Chain A
Amino acid sequence: ETGVTQTPRHLVMGMTNKKSLKCEQHLGHNAMYWYKQSAKKPLELMFVYSLEERVENNSVPSRFSPECPNSSHLFLHLHTLQPEDSALYLCASSPGVRTGELFFGEGSRLTVL
């Protein structure tokens, strides 16, 4: 069992749908992250949260909206997505922001039709 769990594992949505990805970490970490992995590209950092406060937002379009209700949970709300947003979305956590080891969830594979 992984210390970071993501749901759903697979998601297919139309461009007008609204959906959410969920991440939960059971490691007692203070920092959580959303990464995007597209084919043939390095992992791209999207958002960083430290103790529920967003500390980094790497020029991500507003159709992606993160939410961190507490230090164990992280959501990524999706609306009006484009086909090019199809990718593997990975959640990670670490003891502190930019400190310590990163642990990843299993990923949510998103397909936008």
Chain B
Amino acid sequence: GIQVEQSPPDLILQEGANSTLRCNFSDSVNNLQWFHQNPWGQLINLFYIPSGTKQNGRLSATTVATERYSLLYISSSQTTDSGVYFCAGGNTGNQFYFGTGTSLTVIP
């Protein structure tokens, strides 16, 4: 299977700070997503981004498929951004594999 490494595992930010989360894959992927897991357990879709760059408000993501990594940027963080961020990737021969997540805490 595909190994997915996320960093950092834990992150504490002051409200208003910026952060970058990283996801490395051991193999090429052509499906890649970022999720935010809310305190109630639901995985919320942030980006579907097999390649390139996308932006949605204060969040943006970049995937460099040839180098097998993806980055999630959070700008001007808010307390509501707290939670666990997961990346997941797969390809036509493999299921989606998930990383162990980055646990983000934003303090006021």
- Interaction A to B: yes
Q: How many residues of A contact B (CB 8 A)?
A: 23
| Contact of B86 with A by CB under 8 A | yes
Q: Return A55 CB to nearest CB of chain B, in Å.
A: 10
Selected from B45, B91, B97, the residue in CB contact (under 8 A) with A103 is B45
**Given A42-B4, A105-B42, A106-B42, A98 contacting B98 (CB threshold 8 A):** no
Within residues 4 to 56 of chain B, which ones have a CB less than 8 A from any CB in chain A? 4, 31, 33, 35, 40-43, 45, 48
Q: Does B43 contact A104, Cβ atoms closer than 8 Å?
A: yes
Q: How many residues of B contact A (CB 8 A)?
A: 23
Residues of chain B within 8 A (CB-CB) of A106 are: 40-42
Bound Cα distance from A103 to B96, whole angstroms: 12
Residue of B nearest to A40 (CB): B100
Q: Does B42 contact A104, Cβ atoms closer than 8 Å?
A: yes
Which residues of A line the B interface, CB within 8 A? 2, 37, 40-43, 45, 48, 56, 88, 90, 92, 98-107, 109
